[in-house]
Each structure stands twice: as structure tokens, then as C-alpha cells.
Chains A and B, each alone.
Chain A
């Protein structure tokens, strides 16, 4: 329990009669990357903003690094770093001014190394509105981590980034995690969550629809595993049936089987090919992705 850095307990957030977040609970441990996923309006931003101390809590309990965000905003400031979805900076502020300003308010010196590592050195005198989307995101991250907070909250950190910038940002998040920073990540990008998050929670209509490691969440779905097989001969032609296969199709030179349980299916295919004296050229297994599971949950409206 000592390792718990973020605690959300029966948290409810309402706007008038509308319940944006409905009694959700989760915990995030030290050094963990926790992904908060969900469609628009699922309650992600309300949750994040309440943890950041920007919104009041209607019911339940929130704790971030031992601090109640609603009650002790001043203490919270040095415990969290936040990369907001929207700019949050004046158009005419330069990179250097922004770094100096935010560092000064956190009472830390400007981290010159951070400016270099995030590739902002050449842009230090450039005004915010003249930066590209990627540069803005990198500056936003630099400002969020300049005071080395133990908790980092990222809201759609890679939205609008090109592939190299995205990769660089993922690398940085990985490094922060390795140094013990706890990261709460809200994203629409399933592959990002799959790659970065140790655990995830999928929010749907203000409730947690699924939670666990990305693998666990994916495995709970009804999606079928795709087994694609290519052989030299004709052993898989015709209507050979294999266990746990619900559907089989042929595409290009591959015979594709949709299996509900890949163990028996793959064993049977290999045994059949060998028994027929044929040669296996290629065999690929594609599990349902987190994205498939996410679509399944949002489509079915599943809630835990």
C-alpha cells in the first residue's frame, strides 16, 4: 500500500444533473504508467482535472502523492507535472521565457539539459505561436517535468505528432518511468497505451468498463485470434476442419483460420500438414488488439 501514489476511490463528478464520472476507483503505484482510455465524453478529462486540482470532487476520495488535490493545491503543485491537451501558454511567450517562468514558480533552476534533450535549443527565442505542433508538445512536456515531479499527468501527449517525435516522446516517458516517475496517461491511441502502459482502465459513460494490463483487458474479449498459414503443397486446400475454428478463408497464398482457442487449432494444423507430407512456409498468429477490445467494449456498452 505504501507504493500507491495515485488513489481514486468511489470518485464521482457531476455537472448539474449530468454525471460525468460515476463512482470509479483505481490506484496507480510508484513508477507505474497507467493508461486512462475511453471515447470522448467518457469522463477521462474530468478525472484528470480533478486529480490536478482544477475541478472539485462531488463524491469519493482522491489522493495524489499523499495530497488531496481539492484541499491542498499548493502542496500538489510540486508533486505533479501536467501536460495539458490545450496549449496553456500565451502566444507570444518564447520557449526560454516559458522555461524561466515555470521554473521560477517551482523554485528550481532552468533545466538546460532538458531543452537540449527535447530538441528545443534552436527554438529558445521563438514565440509559442511560431512553434510546430511537435515543438509545442515537447515544450509542454519540458514544462511539466522541469521540476522533476514524482507524478506526471499526460493528456493526449502525442496528438498531432509525427512518427519520430512520437517515438522520442515515448522514449522519454519510458525513461521517466524507469527513474520512478508515476505516469497517468489519457489517450485515444490504443497502440500508445499498449506500448507504454503497465495497466489501463477503459472508461465508458463515466464508469470503468475494463481494467488490468493491456494483455489482460484484451484477453477478456470475445475477439478471435487470426491464424494465417502458408504451405508449399495443397494440404490445406478444400474443407479440412480444425478444432476451435469458427471461420476459414483464403487470401492471397494464405489460408486464414479464426480461432477461439489457438492452442488446439495450431497443433492440429501443424499435425495435419506434417501428416500430409506437406511443408510449412509461414505461420502467423495475430491476437485481437487492444483496439479491437476497446471497440468491442464501446460497441457493446460493457461495464464491469
Chain B
């Protein structure tokens, strides 16, 4: 894999993570458990969608095949998506929505903080823009994890179940493959180990405050999303997200 291809892959991973999580949060619009939560979910979805556009636009330009952000988002099939498995986990209940968000935000925050010093200037700029938003996301999801974890017996039980259920998807971002290693070698992306340490420390602190048990860091971690091997669920997400462009190819406003 040449250096340019590796960078395109890396950018698609960033863009697809933000895109799929944004789509999942958007599906909750009008269904939040409270008005404030509903607005927060859609605000976070909007931030992530804005970040998606920056990543995918850059990926399309580097790829050089004339694919813009819309073609990349609407006209790829699930095997071509590069998002991690975590973001395609279902909106099963609000505990799972918030734990998924908290795991994602924690990783996202520490990654963006490193990417602002990337040797790739454009990546550094996108990260700088994203970091402010992501910081706000992480503050909110951490708050919610504590409030619900250290809440009623029922909310506590649901949060613990969500943590246990989603933990196996929280490690994929730190399992580096040839693409990630190529980015590290070029100084584009940070190494996995310091990111993982920061992730485990912050998650540990918040879960402890939330009176939730932290699963084992050495548990088996699911993987494959970054390489395009997804769960069945992604197909349903894409079916809804892409239906208009699939039915009316090239449709525009």
C-alpha cells in the first residue's frame, strides 16, 4: 500500500466514524427521553456531520477519482465503509446510547488532541476545529454516565449492562493495522499505546465515580470495522441513510 492510499484509508476511517455515529444519533431526533436530551443528541449529531464533511472531502481529493463527500457518503456499500464497530451498535436503550457515546468521545478527544500536531497540515486543522466540539461532547457524555450510573437502582443496572455489552467494541480503535502504522511512521497519527493509556485512565475515573464496574482491559476486543468487515446492523443504517441517492441517483437540491 503506498503512502497516499494509506492516508486516504485513514481519512475514510475518521470520516466514517463521525458519519455513522451522526446518522445513529439523528435517528433519535424527536425520540429523546427529554427535550434537553433530544436537542443535545441532535447537536452532537450536527457537529459530527460537519466533521464528516471535512474528512470525506479531503479523502476524496487525495484519492483523486473525483469522488466528493456526497458520493463517498451515499454511494459506497457497507464493505467499503471504514468505521469502527462501536459506532454501528444499536440505539438499544438510552444507557447504550450514552455509553457508546462516552467510549467514542473519550477516544475521539484524545485522538484529536494528538492530531492537532499532525505533520499533515490539513489533518491538523480539521482536528483543531473538531477538538473544541469534541471536548464539549465528552464533558456531557461523562456527566450523563455519572448521573445515570450513580442514579436509581434501575438506571445503574441498565448502565452496567450497557458498559458490559459495549466494552468488547471499545478496543478496536487501539488495534493498529498497516494503515495506522503507516500514519504513525509518517508522523501523521499518534501511536496507539499512549492513546489507550489515556482512554483507560479517563474511562476508569468516570466509571468509578459512576459506581460502575470497569470491565477488564485485557478482555477480547471485536475488530474488523476499520477494514470493512461490519456487523449486519451497518446495512440497515446505510439502507436508511442512502435510500434517496440509491432510488434517485444524482438527485440534488
Q: Do A and B come from one complex?
A: no
Q: Name A's B-contacting residues (CB within 8 A).
A: none
